[in-house]
Amino acid sequence: MTKKEIRQEIKSKKEKLTTDKIAEKSKIMTGHFTGLTEYKNCSQIILYAAFNQEVDTLPLINQALEEGKKVALPKVTEGGLEFFYIRSFQETGISNMGIPEPDTSNPVELLTHGLNVILVPGLAFDLEGNRIGYGRSYYDAYFAAHGAEFMKIAFAYDFQVYDRIPSEKHDVKIDLLITDTFSKKFIP
């Protein structure tokens, strides 16, 4: 299958998810994520606001804020993808694509010593750490432009995971995949 065909297949399957099923599966994945040593030890975390039947990240955003972690969310700017800290989810606005996003007054400061924990969205993943996003390569470009070390984690419903998906040289692999039934760490 091509990336385009995979995107269409996943979008069709996601549309069939009920809000109850999304909440149930999201709770399991969030529990696994917050149990990770990397999460427990981080002082700041880069997340995303869920959109279009994605795994619900709002409980994770709120939990991280309640635990005193600095939380950053993405915003697409003229310069590409950038991340900005929030103090509350209520500080977000809605982009022209309908995605919750932060204001631009408080840009993220990537850790130069230590691991930057980041939750990466995607439509499809495989068992080798490859990811298919929404087709604009924002995250791939961001990782390529920043020399910081990242722990790239992704949430996925089981139907979003394939044995193998197409990948290109510029595609950045994830380090850990979490579903509601399994997790897999990818070692380079």
- pLDDT average, residue stretch 21-45: 95
For residue 35, pLDDT beyond 70 = yes
Tell me the per-residue pLDDT of 81-134, one tens digit each, with 9 for 90 and over. 999 999 999 888 888 888 888 988 888 988 877 788 999 999 999 999 999 988
Q: Is 80 left (phi over 0), alpha (psi -120 to 50) or beta?
A: left
β-bridge mates for residue 85, sequence order? 72
pLDDT (0 to 100) of residue 156: 97
Residue type for position 43? S
Q: Which of 51, 150, 37 is nearest to 97 (CA)?
A: 51
Give 151's pLDDT tier (boundaries 50, 70, 90).
very high
> Cα dist. 19→35, 48, 52, 142 in Å?
24, 19, 11, 31
Give 65's pLDDT tier (boundaries 50, 70, 90).
very high
**Residue 121 DSSP SS3:** coil
- pLDDT average, residue stretch 66-85: 92
CA atoms within 13 A of residue 62's CA, in its CB half-sphere? 7
Q: Report if pTM > 0.85.
A: yes
pLDDT (0 to 100) of residue 60: 96
List, in sequence order, every beta strand (DSSP E) within 51-147: 70-77, 80-86, 93-94, 100-101, 116-119, 124-126, 131-132
